[in-house]
Structures are given as structure tokens and as C-alpha cells.
A and B are shown apart, each in its own frame.
Chain A
Amino acid sequence: MDSIILTHQLGGLLPEAVFPENKQYSEVIVPADRLHAFCESLKTTPNLLFDYLISLTAVDWKDHFIMVYHITSTKYRHTVVVKTPINSREHPVVDTLSDIWKTAEFHEREVYDLFGISFRNHPDLRRLFLDDDYGYPLRKDFTDESRMIVK
């Protein structure tokens, strides 16, 4: 599907969605409270059928986090990048997407482990790689005096 038609389609699903410029894929910014409903309609709308979540991650922009989802359709081969800002730094929470795409469950555990972002309604939110009392290393303010060399 052409990216302009795709953008138009996505805008029809959620009027408050914002579409920034992206050279590679169509991109859409969705408010955190509408994320779950929006993604559900991405998967079920017949001419979109975004059924394969490629990648899920977060970016720490110091005053806020942004969740980034790369989703594609195995039938139509179009790809979309969905982004959601999270404003709280002390208690960042966002809805889980593991009931829509199962692979999100494990990517979300990784994000919880490395960023400390919690996922509402997640079936099994435990740390994946690190110990429970370790900090959140991919946050920009993370320091570890014994193991890190700061230039």
C-alpha cells in the first residue's frame, strides 16, 4: 500500500494521531491511553492486517521515554512505526501488547529489565537478564562505578 493511503487509513482509526516525517516507513504517534485500542484495530482491520510485530523497544530522552514498535503485515508487506510517549520518570507505565502479539511479552520483559518501564496487564513481568536489585542500565542517568568507564 502506498504510504500516503496508509497514513490516511491510520488517521481514520484514530483522529488524534500525529504523523511525523519518516523517510523509510510510515510513522504514527499515539497517546499512551489509546495505544492498546489502536494496535488492536491495526491487527484486525481487514485491509491493514498488521499481524507481525518485528521489534519493540524504548528510547530514553532524559525527561521522557518513547516506546517504539515496528509492525508489519505478512500479507500486504507494509510496515508502520508506532510511537508512544511516556512522561513519568519515577513510575513509567504503559499497556502491554502481549495479548495482541505474543512476541511482545518477551520484548516487554527486556524493556522492563533495561529501562524500568512497567507494562499494565502483563502476564509475567519479571526481569529477564539482570538481578532484581540491579539498576536500569539503558537509562541515560545510570551509573555503575565499578563496572563502567566514563570518558
Chain B
Amino acid sequence: MQEEIVKNIILGEDDDYIINVGPQHPSTHGVLRFEVSLQGETIKKVVPHCGYIHRGIEKMCERDTYPQIIHLTDRMDYLSAHMNNEAVCLCVEKALEVEVPERVTYIRTILDELNRIASHQLWWSAMGMDMGALTTFFYGLRDREKILDIFEESFGTRLIQSVNAPGGLMQDIHTGFQKRIKEFIRYFRKKLPEYDQLLTGNVIFRERTEGIAKLSLEDAIQYGVTGPSGRASGFSCDIRKIEPYGTYPKVDFKEILHTEGDTITRYKVRIEEMYESMNILEQLVDNIPAGDYSAKMKAVLRLPVGEFYQRVETARGELGVYIVSDGNKSPYRIKFRAPNFSNLFIISKLAVGYKIADLIAISGSLDLVIPDIDR
């Protein structure tokens, strides 16, 4: 009798030992649960369970007007808040055939790249911390603070800016904006090599990441893994190059592509992207043209009947906004193709055969933001 209970409760159907990582586990960076089947310490199967922070953002958008939607998309992938907002704004502007002032496209692209650096800084901090190197958390957040200060000075907000509006920006930038960015680049160019010295060359870190969880190019395309995680496998998926928007066509930058596809390569891609983002910022920051910070827009926005799709590159991959309009002031249906949603499910393929400790490193290298999965 006792044996039977033990068999049924503790051991699963196939005599596997099942443990739950999450939903309140620090390494999942949010409320996500991995149901992990183990044999000894080796992973046999991973089933992700999501929905703990499902807020029904798509349903709420059907009730709201287009300027109101901006404040919901902020809260999907809160570390790429500006890019999420920009995606909606570009889609609405495309539908209304509004030409935004050049000044707006420059500022938007600068904010995109600042946001990308801030996001990668937090990812780097958290990834090191997940694997036991607490110092990275202090280093990363110290530098991220500089970017958040720039946001705060101009817009009064730090994590999510909500500064985009259909047609332009809600307010102009602070007079010290450009000076602060140049100061930041000068500062961060000195600090970023420290990241490599501290973590990239660390023997324990390399042992735990090199050759672990290789993602092949075919699987990346099949599962739709985009962003730095996809580019580490050689999947050329940078929307800034494929369908350029904003000021990206005028900027000279390269898409970071590697082919190894293991955990350390996904790590390297993000580190190199921070350098590349700084290059983009340097080309733009002195050339912001004068002019209005917003186009003239009607008080009530009604999109023409039809369907509109906009692709944008966030810090984590490809975000798609699909708006179906029936001519009213709120969308008939809006769908967000969230990058993290597609990036999540590859983990049940990647982690099999590795140790449970590697699961933490693998999910860290995928850089998941859970509210973006559940929406």
C-alpha cells in the first residue's frame, strides 16, 4: 500500500522523478513553471506551463482607443517597452498614412538602442547571478542606472517610458539629452570590457556554458526563435535589416551573426550587440534634426477598414503587431506576435540530456520575460 502511494505520488507515470521549477523560482525571472522529469540529475523532459500572469492584453485592447493601447504594450515586455510602443505607433501611422517628422524617427531610434543596451545589461546581471556570480548583478545595475537616469531626465519615467504616441512623441527631449548620452557612451566603453574580464573568461562559467544546449539553424527557424538567441545559431532574423524602420536605413551597423548556437554563443551575441548599439548611438546623437516632436494628429483616431502588420526588432527578437480595423476608434482585433512566446518552447528540446543546473543557464541564455509570453 505504502509503496503504491509513493509510486503514484512521488514517481510519475514512467518512474520519473518530477520536480517543478517555478512558478516562484528566482531563475525564471517571473511566474513561469517548468515541469521537469529527471533521472538522477539528468533531464528527460521539460514541459513549460504558462498563464500565471495572463492579463488578456489583446482583449483589453479591443476596448481601448489607439493612444490608450500604448500603455498596455509597455507592460508586455517591460524591458523593451519603447520598442513595443514603437511597433504599435508605426502600425497606426502606416494605416493612417501619416508622415512623422524626421526628428521623431531619430529620437525613437536612439531610445530603441538605449533600451536595448539597458535590457542586455539587466540580462547580463541576472544571468551571472543565476549561475552564482553575484558581483555581475551589481556591475550591471550600476551601469543600467545611467541609462535610466537619461530616461528620467527627459520623460520622468524610468523602466517604461510611454513616450511614444501615434504621430510622434508625447513630449520633447530634455536639453541635456545629447550630452548625457555622449557621457554615457564614454563611460560604458570603459566599463563593458570589465564584463568580459569578470564573467566571459571565468573558468566555471565557461565550463557550464560551452557546448551546452546547441540550437541548430533548422530548429531555430522551425520554432521561430528570433533575436540574439536565433542569431547565435546563424538565423539572420534582424528586422532592422530585413524590413528597416525609423532611422535604421541611414545608419551603418552590422547584424551580429554566429553559427555555434550553444549557450556561450547566445551570451556572446548580446555582449557584441551592446557594442554595436553604442556605434549606432554615436552616429545619431549629434545629428538629431530640429523640428516638431509630433505630427499633427486628429483628436480621435479612426483607422481605415483593413488589416495592418508591423514587424519590429525588440531586445529579444521579432515583435509583430497585427491590427484588424473595422473603422472604429478601437481595433476590431489586435494580435501581438511576442518574441518570448516563440523563444520559450525550444527549451523542451534544448534542455533534454543535460543536468538540472544547466536548465538555469539555458533559460538564462534565452533571456525570457514572462509577461510577454502570457500577455
- Which residues does chain B contribute within 8 Å of A103, judged by CB atoms? 222-224, 342, 345
Q: B307 is contacted by which of A22, A60, A110 (Cβ under 8 Å)?
A: A22
Instruction: Let me know if A10 is at the binding interface, CB within 8 A.
Output: no
Decide: A54 and B224 in contact? CB cutoff 8 A.
Answer: yes
Q: Does B267 contact A (CB under 8 A)?
A: no
Q: Which DSSP category, helix, strand, loop or mixed, fits chain B's interface? A: mixed
Distance, CA A130 to CA B50, complexed state (A): 9
| Cβ-closest chain A residue relative to B235 | A74
Complex interface: chain A residues within 8 A of B236 (CB): 74
When chains A and B are docked, how far (Å) is the Cα of A54 from the Cα of B225? 10
Tell me whether A128 is interfacial, beta carbon within 8 Å: yes
B51:A129 contact, CB within 8 angstroms: yes
Tell me the smallest distance from the CB of A41 to a CB of chain B, in Å.
18
Give the residue name and chain of the B residue nearest to A124 (CB). B47
Q: What 0/1 pattern do residues 59 to 82 of A give for CB contact below 8 A with B?
A: 110000000101000100100010
Q: Which residues of A are found within 8 Å of B337, using beta-carbon distances? A: 54-55, 70
Residues in B whose Cβ lies below 8 Å from that of A114? 58
Give the top 9 A-B pairs by smallest Cβ distance, nearest first. A129-B51, A103-B224, A55-B337, A129-B54, A102-B222, A57-B335, A59-B333, A106-B345, A55-B320
17 sample A-B contacts, Cβ–Cβ < 8 Å, listed by A number: A23-B306, A24-B309, A51-B221, A55-B335, A59-B332, A59-B333, A70-B309, A70-B320, A81-B309, A102-B219, A102-B223, A103-B345, A107-B341, A129-B50, A129-B374, A137-B56, A138-B58
A101-120 interface mask toward B, CB cutoff 8 Å, 1 = contact, 0 = none? 11101110010001000000
Inter-chain CA distance A70–B63, complex, in Å, is 25
Q: A77-B242, A128-B50 are in contact. Are A55 and B322 (CB under 8 A)?
A: yes
Q: Is the CB of B322 within 8 A of A57?
A: yes
Chain B contact residues, CB within 8 Å of chain A: 50-51, 54, 56, 58-59, 63, 219, 221-224, 235-237, 242, 306-309, 311, 318, 320, 322, 324, 332-333, 335, 337, 341-342, 344-345, 374
B307 to chain A: closest residue by CB? A22
* Given contact pairs A128-B51, A137-B56, A53 touches B224 in the complex (Cβ within 8 A): yes
Contact B341 A74 (CB under 8 A): no
B341 and A106 within 8 A (CB): yes
Residue among A23, A52, A55 with the highest chain B CB neighbour number at 10 A: A55
What's the Cα separation between A107 and B342 when bound, in Å? 8
Establish whether residues B320 and A52, one from each chain, have CB atoms under 8 Å apart when the complex forms.
Answer: no
How long is the Cα–Cα vector from A24 to B307 in the complex, in angstroms? 9
In the complex, the answer to whether A25 meets B221 with C-beta atoms within 8 Å is no
Q: A54–B320 contact, CB under 8 A? A: yes
Closest to A83 in B: B307
A151 at the interface (CB under 8 A from B): yes
- Taking the closest CB of chain B, its distance from the CB of A61, in whole angstroms, is 9
Give, as a whole number of angstroms, the nearest-CB distance from B58 to chain A. Answer: 7
B59 touches A138 (CB 8 A): yes
With A and B bound together, what is the CA distance between A81 and B309 in angstroms?
A: 10
> Known: A51-B221, A54-B337, A106-B342. Contact between A68 and B322, CB under 8 A?
yes
* Chain A residues with CB below 8 A from B58, complex form: 114, 138
A102 to B343, CA, bound (A): 12
Given contacts A51-B221, A103-B345, 5 further A-B contacts (CB under 8 A): A54-B311, A54-B318, A68-B322, A74-B235, A128-B51
Q: Which of B59, B308, B333, B374 contacts A137 (CB 8 A)?
A: B59
Which chain B residues border A60 with CB–CB below 8 Å?
333
Judge whether B56 and A59 touch: CB under 8 Å: no
Assess the B221–A74 pair: CB atoms within 8 A: yes
Min C-beta distance of A56 to chain B, whole Å: 9
Determine how close the nearest CB of chain A comes to the CB of B339; give it in whole angstroms.
11
B residues near A54, Cβ cutoff 8 Å: 224, 311, 318, 320, 337
Task: Report the separation of the CA atoms of residues A129 and B57 in the bound assembly, to the nearest whole angstrom.
Answer: 13
Q: Write the nearest CB–CB distance from B153 to chain A, whole angstroms.
A: 37
Residues of chain A contacted by B345 (CB below 8 angstroms): 103, 105-106
| CA of A107 to CA of B242, assembled, Å | 23
**Chain B residues in 8 Å Cβ range of A137:** 56, 59
